[in-house]
Amino acid sequence: MMKRKRVLGSAAIGAGLLAALLGLPNGAVAQSTAPPAAVSVLSPDIPAANSMAHAQQFQTIATANGGNRAHGRPGYRASLDYVKSKLDAAGFQTSVQSFSYQGATGYNLIADWPQGDANQVVFLGAHLDGVPAGPGVNDNGSGSSAVLETALAVARANAKPTKRLRFGWWGAEELGLIGSKYYVQNLPAAERSKINAYLNFDMVGAKNTTTWGVYTDSSTLSAVFTEYFRSKGLPTRGFNIGARSDHASFKSAGIQVSGIASGDDPCYHARCDDINNISSPVMGHATNAAAYAAWKLAGIPEGAALPSAAYRPAG
């Protein structure tokens, strides 16, 4: 995220304190600790190793490119090329959108799964850039990995959703949501109106996460995430993240938005935001929550989720 993103603490943090941390009125944060509920959507059970493998690749890219993946730096373009190569091989229709900011060229990557009604789009996205100080693995290699692995799960299942699934990776988020703003502002009004929902995944891999944050911008969309976490016996906290991540670019255009975030990150915007700053179980939940939302909101029929054994860790 482009702002102070120590969004969630441990489950022991009270709602009032969390509201204060978020700059919200007391009572603006609600916690759900309801017992597990039955999941009604047959989405895939994606091994955590898959999204962890993508995160490791982002770490490797940063290490080979000056220690970061920031806007205008070679590590960012290498990250984009990695994601695009995976999507192209899986059969997605991809496009790279370039923009200029602070004297450097930035890039957005958009991928459409060529099935479903193109007039009804369910959009999952994450920012791909980090800050110059470090590798940016939690912020936001984690969200980028979860979204990428969800897209690849769609392809492996040869899913045929009722609605069109679209995935995006944004540039220069850390400098003010620049990439996602550019995308939305340059999208014709008729195309914006086709987007039914935008779901944001920013900092979703923090170690020791016990309570998950669910954006409260849309009660309908947030309920989908809450349903997934309840099915796993995991508590959630609803919070209003305001205009501090890429969902805000879509919300400003009248598009329904939501998203998730993991726990507090002591390595926020620091050199230690590396592969050791995230954990496999947390990444597994983030990825499967994204997949659950994609399957449910896009209307992927039951039977379009392969057995978990069919999912091999990404290369």
- Residue 276 C-alpha from the chain's centroid: 19
Tell me the CA distances in angstroms from 282 to 12, 134, 165, 287, one per residue in order: 18, 21, 24, 9
Which of 110, 217, 127, 219 is CA-nearest to residue 164? Answer: 110
User: How many CA within 13 A on the CB side of residue 47?
Assistant: 13
Q: Where are the beta strands (DSSP E) in the chain?
A: 30-32, 93-101, 104-112, 117-127, 163-170, 195-201, 212-215, 236-239, 257-261
The two tokens of residue 186 are: 């340059």
Number of helices (H), then strands (E), in the chain: 9, 9
The two tokens of residue 205 are: 């891999």
- Residue 20 C-alpha from the chain's centroid: 25
Residues tagged active-site = 173
Name the strand (E) or helix (H) holding 17: helix 15-22
Residues 6+ apart with CB under 8 A from 203: 1, 5, 7, 138, 139, 140, 142, 143, 261, 262, 265
Residues 6+ apart with CB under 8 A from 79: 58, 61, 69, 128, 141, 144
User: How many CA within 13 A on the CB side of residue 69?
Assistant: 33
Rounded (5°) CA angle 22-215-172: 80
